[in-house]
Amino acid sequence: MPSCAPVGNRRLHRTCVTLVGMLSRSAHHLKNFAFLLALSFPALAQGPQTLWYRQPASIWVEALPVGNGRLGGMIFGGAAHERIQFNEQTVWTGEPHNYAHPGAYQSLAKMRELLFEGKQKEAEDLGMREFMSVPLRQTAYQAFGDLLLDFPNIRKSAVTDYRRELDLETSIASVSYQAGGVTYRRGVFASYPAKVIVVRLTASRPGSISFEAALRSAHQNASNAILADGDLSMSGQVEGGAIRYEARLSIAADGGKRESRDGRAIVSGADSATLVLTGATNFRNWKDVSADPKQRNIAILAAIHSSSFTAMRSAHIADYQNLFGRVKLDLGTSPAAALPTVERIAQFAGGNDPALVALLFQYGRYLLISSSRPGGQPANLQGLWNDSNTPPWDSKYTDNINTEMNYWPAEETNLAECQLPLFDALKELAQSGAITAREHYNARGWVLHHNFDLWRGTAPINASNHGIWQTGGAWLSTHLWEHYLFTGDRQFLRDTGYPLMKGAALFFVDALVKDPKTGYLITGPSNSPEQGGLVMGPTMDREIVRSLFGDVIAASRILGVDRDLREQLEGMRRQIAPLAIGRYGQLQEWMEDKDDPKNEHRHVSHLWAVYPGSEITPYGTPELFKAARQSLIFRGDAATGWSMGWKINLWARFLDGDHAYKILQNLVEPAYYKIAGHKDHAGLFANMFDAHPPFQIDGNFGATAGITEMLLQSDDPYGTPTSLTPVQSGDAAFVTLLPALPSAFPNGSVSGLCARGGLDVAIAWRGGKLTRAVLTARETKPLKVRYAGREIEIQAKAGQRYELGPDLR
């Protein structure tokens, strides 16, 4: 099993596959081929890593997602009519654009002055007039189209033994049913190495495969064409925007007859068929839309032209399993595990189904692998699955929680390379954000406010009361440092991480201001996302900037660079306003003690220092720890999808596994959104997509991270607000085993998790107690291990395994 290795040194598994063989096989060869194919989609035995259903999807959030980090497909699975709604990550509205408001910095001092005088409304009004992004809103991720398959010989009423599933072990979605004495099977996967979506149709009786295929655009003015080789093409341009696109469908049928008519491809009486869907746009990067989507599709299809289906399938599975297979989680099982997925979701809160928690954990990893792969865009608010041209919040990148949450599971669940698209985006955001820093703050470095889009808008959008929030780039930059802590990849730190982190910190060297009342340094104008309006020095900002400065200090020391800056940051860091405990015993969300204990707002921003930060810890800052816990109790348990995702992590950091599990029970409830007869409700849709509601993928990723935090934590419990702990400095590793194990999982095991300090961790437990842990170190450094109040220190050596029993010996 690969350990938590630096991705820079890991050669990504790429297998070149070709399709040609499928088109030119002899009859004999075809028979063998059919046999192999029968093998390749065996009877749909339901494994523990399977979502499965007895009916086709009737709405989009029942359809099953596949994705290769660029193309995504939602498979409805109808027996007589299949719909695969598909996306490509760069189909967006808009065009390359600089969103900065020229000269906005001229009103900065006035806004601050108004806020210091308590004139919030005037400051917000001034912000709206003079300080906002041009235009005020960013662009929207778009749907692409549908692949429609009609099976004229299948009468819905004659279908029996229907079943559809998504197997997380192979990343293949399947449909099977019987009709007229024939068993039909359909398999769909999105291949990262082949860059396409593959649909395979087989039947138990030769000559039974008949269908009509068509591509339907989600946009007006698209044109459909049948190409010379019989491929279907669907091309066009997003209305009023710069993105041009083309989707192509290539069909290889074994036996039978092929025709094309009215933009449709018609296959009759074939033994089997393979459909290959590709889609591309003219998008090269945020500044350049000069690519040719048709040429891209031609190249993609040419590269797999002589590949057999089985070779493509094997390459897909090998590529996928190289990532997915790294972590195994067993939380035990129960009779509920045999039920269809929707029934399991419905029964979860009141029943006993620990295997569903393991499935949800792995589903988050599946969704990350499927929506965020090197070379592509980061996972947006819906990953990459979207059927609307006016999706909720434009399905863009909201980085005052959501984008970061998407990547919470990346390092700890051994998918570090899935975070690379985010880091690529940060390189671009740092360029765009440098313009925003200059025009809005007259500052060096770069800044990102609470949203970005394909065109890397970084200026404050929507409304001044929540759009002016300064710490999006700073928060995302902490992910760069975390990537180093998990992987120990110095080259990454030097070449990619540090320059971006340094730019994010430089912005605050220039933009922090002295609070006239306390003399401390604070940010502002900003807000505590997304409530309380425009203020100076919200707690979350101070936590993030303190953390970022700490990261840059540690990184510059490790790399032996920028001593002067390091000393400056050390000095400024000590002057940033400290955390404060308010009159209700709560951690103050703002500089002033004005928290409302009845406030159940979904954002729990001031608790950033508990998770994902580590400034507040049980042993290092016990008073603040208590206050933060009190704040979370005030906020309550009920929340939107992602907010529950966050609260699971927080309760795990509060070392309360049962409370974390209680939030998980709230999260695993049937979700509803705009369904007649049902009130909108957060939870899981039938396809296990998390619901805000509506669908927003961060809740899935937050849940996966939260389940991990129940089992393993690797921040230093002796954290301190002002000086760096050995873990935060990268000088030591620290793991806490089973810190918040819920009583619902008395027996279990996990392997392949990663911990800060370059550790690979496996843990087994019985009766709620640790039985064995194996830590594999990749770096030579002191390692502290904590379990059930006991702590040991090991001088870990790179490459060594350390096996520990219940008493940590």
**What are the φ/ψ torsions at residue 106 (nearest 5 degrees)?**
-65, -20
Site for ligand FUC in 595-634 (CB under 6 A): 602
Q: What string of DSSP letters covers 295-336? A: HHHHHHHHHTBB--HHHHHHHHHHHHHHHHTT-EEE----GG
Q: Which two tokens stand for residue 252?
A: 């290889």
Task: Determine the Cα–Cα distance for residues 299 and 196; give it in Å rounded to an integer.
Answer: 12
> Counting contacts by CB under 6 A, is residue 696 touching ligand FUC?
yes
- The 3-state DSSP class for residue 83 equals strand
State the virtual CA torsion across 751, 755, 760, 765 in degrees, nearest 10. Answer: -40
Site string for ligand FUC, 642-681 (x = CB under 6 A): x---------------------------------------
3-state secondary structure 659-722: HHHHHHHHHCCECECCCCCCCCECEECCCCCEECCCECCHHHHHHHHHHHHHHEECCCCCCCCC
CB 690, min distance to ligand FUC, A: 11
What token pair was written down for 126?
């001034």
Measure the CA–CA gap between 167 and 779, rounded to whole angstroms: 35
Q: From CA 100, how far away is CA 431, in angstroms rounded?
A: 12
Minimum CB distance to ligand FUC smaller for 400 or for 556: 400
**Least distance in angstroms from the C-beta of 692 to ligand FUC:** 6
Exactly one of 50, 398, 614, 728 binds ligand FUC (CB under 6 A); that residue is: 398
Q: How far is the CB of 603 from ligand FUC (least distance, A)?
A: 6
- Tell me the closest approach of the beta carbon of residue 642 to ligand FUC, in angstroms: 6
Residue 640 binds ligand FUC (CB under 6 A): yes
Angle made by CA atoms 438, 523, 441, in degrees to the nearest 5: 15
Instruction: Establish if 380 lies at the interface with ligand FUC (CB under 6 A).
Output: no
Give the closest residue to 313 by CA, choosing from 514, 66, 104.
66
Quote the tokens at residue 192. 């990262």
| Residue carrying structure tokens 């006991």 | 790
Q: What's the rounded Cα separation, in Å, for the pair 666 and 434? A: 41
Minimum CB separation from ligand FUC for residue 65, in Å?
Answer: 19
Compute how many residues bind ligand FUC; rule: CB under 6 A.
10
Indicate whether 393 belongs to the interface with ligand FUC (CB under 6 A).
yes
Binding ligand FUC by CB under 6 A: which of 107, 371, 377, 402?
A: 402
Q: How far is the CB of 398 from ligand FUC (least distance, A)?
A: 4
Provide, rounded to whole angstroms, the least separation between the CB of residue 632 and ligand FUC: 17
Cα–Cα distance, 433 to 504 (Å, whole number)? 9
> Would strands 781-787 and 733-737 be described as parallel, antiparallel, or unpaired?
parallel
Kindly tell me which of 489 and 541 has the beta carbon lying closer to ligand FUC: 541
Burial tier of 413 (Cβ tally within 10 Å: 0-12, 13-18, 19+): buried
Which tokens hold the place of 392? 């909720």
Q: Least Å distance between CB 393 and ligand FUC? A: 4
381 near ligand FUC (CB under 6 A) = yes
Question: What's the min distance (Å) between Cβ of 326 and ligand FUC?
Answer: 29
Q: Which helix (H) or strand (E) holds 109?
A: helix 108-116
Cβ proximity to ligand FUC, 246 vs 530, nearer residue: 530
Of residues 293 and 699, the one with the C-beta less far from ligand FUC:
699
Tell me: does residue 763 bind ligand FUC (CB under 6 A).
no
Q: Kindly tell me which of 337 and 639 has the beta carbon lying closer to ligand FUC.
A: 639
Question: Closer to ligand FUC at the Cβ: 353 or 399?
Answer: 399
Please say which residue, 133 or 696, places its beta carbon nearer to ligand FUC.
Answer: 696
The answer to whether residue 697 forms part of the interface with ligand FUC (CB under 6 A) is no
Residue from 130, 246, 404, 530 touching ligand FUC (CB under 6 A): that is 530
Q: Footprint of ligand FUC on residues 95-154 (CB under 6 A)?
A: none
Q: What is the DSSP letter of 647?
A: H
Q: How far is the CB of 402 from ligand FUC (least distance, A)?
A: 5
Identify the three-state secondary structure at position 527.
Answer: strand
Q: How far is the CB of 141 from ligand FUC (least distance, A)?
A: 12
CB of 236 or CB of 641, closer to ligand FUC: 641
Q: How far is the CB of 120 from ligand FUC (least distance, A)?
A: 20
- Least Å distance, CB 370 to ligand FUC, is 20
**Minimum gap (Å) between residue 400 Cβ and ligand FUC:** 6
Among 692, 756, 784, 786, binds ligand FUC (CB under 6 A): 692
Neighbours of 144 (CB within 10 A): 27
User: 3-class SS at 116?
Assistant: helix
What's the closest the beta carbon of residue 613 comes to ligand FUC, in angstroms?
A: 19
Taking the complex as a whole, the smallest distance from the CB of residue 464 to ligand FUC amounts, in Å, to 15
- Residue 256 vs 473, nearer CB to ligand FUC: 473
Position 635 contacts ligand FUC (CB under 6 A): no
Residue among 49 and 704 whose Cβ is closer to ligand FUC: 704
Per DSSP, 608 falls in state G
Interatomic CA distance for residues 648 and 409, integer angstroms:
13
Under DSSP, the state recorded for 578 is P
Please state, as a whole number, how many other Cβ atoms lie within 10 Å of the Cβ of residue 58.
10
When the beta carbons of 669 and 779 are compared against ligand FUC, the nearer one is: 669
Residue 143 corresponds to which tokens in the numbers above? 């749907």
Distances (CA, A) of 769 to 20, 34, 354, 648, 775: 56, 50, 17, 21, 17
Q: Which is nearer to ligand FUC, 41 or 141 (CB)?
A: 141
361, 359, 332, 328: which is closest to 745 by C-alpha? 332
The span from the CA of 220 to the CA of 203, in Å, is: 36
Give the residue with the Cβ less far from ligand FUC, 586 or 696. 696
In terms of CB distance, is 174 or 406 closer to ligand FUC? 406
Q: Which single residue is written with the structure tokens 């007869």?
A: 677
Binding track, positions 342-371, relative to ligand FUC; x by CB under 6 A: ------------------------------
Task: Give the residue from 238, 20, 256, 33 showing the smallest Cα distance to 153.
Answer: 256
Structure tokens at 547: 């953390």
Task: Give 274 or 451: the residue with its C-beta nearer to ligand FUC.
Answer: 451
3-state secondary structure of 654: coil
* Footprint of ligand FUC (CB under 6 A): 381, 393, 398, 402, 530, 602, 640, 642, 692, 696
